[in-house]
Amino acid sequence: MINQTMVNLGTAKSVIRELAAFGAERAKVVGKENVLDFSLGNPSVPAPKEVQEAILDIVQNMSPVEYHSYSSGAGHDGCREAIANNLNKRFGTNYTKDNLLMTCGAAASLSITLKALIADEKDEIVVLAPFFPEYTVFIKEQGGKQVMVEPQDNMQLNIEGIRNAITENTKAMIVNSPNNPAGVIYTKEEMMALAELLKEKEEEYGHAIYLIMDEPYRELVLMDDVEVAYMPNHYKNTVINYSWSKSLSLPGERIGYVLVPNEVDDELLMAGVAGAARALGYVCAPTLMQFVIERCVDVEPDVTVYKKNRDLLFDGLKELGYNVAKPAGAFYLFIEAPDGDSAKFSEKAKEHDMLIVPGAGFGAERFVRLSYCVETEKCEKSLPLFAKIMEEYK
Ligand code: PLP
């Protein structure tokens, strides 16, 4: 008898993957250019030229034995030192390589962090809707209980909801800003209010409540006057889960990190993170990519295309009468289904070969997610289809 839970996970249909597979089939029939696939979060902007230059430099000038070998479990010293220096410059921190463990992307960072933290089946992890659906899998598989909090109507933090969700069993909460799927960046004021609330609750229950900041979109900020709060500077029990999947357009290369500041209550947390990475069989993060990151850690993403697509879609959809909030970051747009039924809205769009993801998996039934990390032309082509769909609702 094999593990049925794993069989279920392996065979369960992900709505996003199903939509993408449908799109690939339709492309064979009607042509790729006629399928508007807004389902996946694969960056459309190519990795910056510095990444390619770094790869060429490494491959041409380093011994293959070096760049193909295992690194230590935590990662190469030079890579972690370069990241620590970058963060210290940007956020006024005092990190060293020892605060960092390199991972196979933010998904691995999350599983590792959760495994290190969850010690008892009663342990609860608070997640804020709308959220990345894999959180549910990661929390359950690391033995914790997920507790979901609804957002405010504008998708900002619902501090009262969070207050009510925290119990003596709360081990951690996951916050993702800029957010997938809503594109929202939580305001600095609300993040400060969250830090205050967590401190109050830590005092009340007499133990640490960890704030896991899931930040693969940190640098994808599309508005000038918005700041993504750097939470370790405001709340000591913060752990950062980061990756370059989105900022340097490297999702297939699987490279990220877990950062544990020295100030956290449990001084053994970093050891626990290393143990969790080992127990999950990660061994080390891809070595070639660690050398690339060492060279490219200061490179900033070009968000021009994402801004252009965001503006084009936001303005166009608003004009057509859709309820949509202007995303401040990431590359997702959250659109309310005209009658509140996002599954039906997604089906209607599919009839026009346009693929948008219904919100149930994100914990937001009324909304669909549109990933605008695509060619701008596809965004332009979508508006007449959205107009037709709106007509169908009237
Ligand atoms: N967290 C969020 C919010 C995401 O959207 C994603 C990927 O889309 C991840 C984590 C996982 O990213 P990675 O490719 O770095 O594993």
Q: Is 316 left (phi over 0), alpha (psi -120 to 50) or beta?
A: alpha
> Residue 107 Cα, ligand 1 centroid: separation in angstroms?
6
* DSSP classification of residue 102: E
Atom of ligand 1 nearest to the CA of 244: 15
Q: What residues pair up with 257 in beta bridges, in sequence order?
A: 102, 242
> Residue 289 Cα, ligand 1 centroid: separation in angstroms?
17
Atom of ligand 1 nearest to the CA of 105: 15
Q: Is the CB of 251 under 6 A from ligand 1?
A: yes
> Residue 106 Cα, ligand 1 centroid: separation in angstroms?
5
pLDDT of 184 = 95
pLDDT of 288 = 98
Q: Which of 42, 103, 104, 132 to mutate to test the pocket of ligand 1 (most atoms within 8 A of CB)?
A: 132
Q: Is the CB of 214 under 6 A from ligand 1?
A: yes
> Residue 179 Cα, ligand 1 centroid: separation in angstroms?
10
Q: Which of 362, 330, 346, 307 is nearest to 134 (CA)?
A: 362
Atom of ligand 1 nearest to the CA of 255: 15
Peptide bond into 46 cis (omega under 30): no
Q: Is the CB of 130 under 6 A from ligand 1?
A: no
pLDDT of 311 = 97
From CA 284, how far away is CA 252, in angstroms rounded? 16
> Residue 292 Cα, ligand 1 centroid: separation in angstroms?
20
Q: Which of 212, 245, 248, 334 to mutate to test the pocket of ligand 1 (most atoms within 8 A of CB)?
A: 245
Q: What residues pair up with 281 in beta bridges, in sequence order?
A: none
From CA 120, how far away is CA 389, in angstroms rounded? 49
Q: Is the CB of 105 under 6 A from ligand 1?
A: yes
Atom of ligand 1 nearest to the CA of 132: 3
Q: Is the CB of 43 under 6 A from ligand 1?
A: no
Weakly modelled stretches of the chain, pLDDT under 50: none
From CA 65, how far away is CA 361, in angstroms rounded? 43
Q: Is the CB of 180 under 6 A from ligand 1?
A: yes
pLDDT of 354 = 96
Dihedral sign for Cα atoms in the order 279, 106, 70, 297 = negative
CB 249 within 8 A of CB 47: yes
pLDDT of 117 = 98
Q: Over the stretch 377-386, which tens digit does the pLDDT of each residue have?
A: 999 999 999 9
Q: Over the stretch 363-372, which tens digit does the pLDDT of each residue have?
A: 999 999 999 9
pLDDT of 36 = 95
Q: How far is CA 59 from each of CA 96, 110, 180, 277, rounded to the nearest angstrom? A: 27, 31, 35, 27
Per-residue tokens: 210: 């960890």
Mapped onto helix, strand or coil, the DSSP state of residue 214 is strand
From CA 157, how far away is CA 278, in angstroms rounded? 34
Mapped onto helix, strand or coil, the DSSP state of residue 143 is coil
From CA 234, how far away is CA 186, in angstroms rounded? 14
Per-residue tokens: 174: 């996951």
Which residue has the least CA distance to atom 5 on ligand 1? Answer: 180
Q: Over the stretch 292-312, which tens digit does the pLDDT of each residue have?
A: 999 999 999 999 999 999 999
Q: Is the CB of 132 under 6 A from ligand 1?
A: yes
pLDDT of 46 = 95
Residue 89 CA, distance from chain mean position: 24
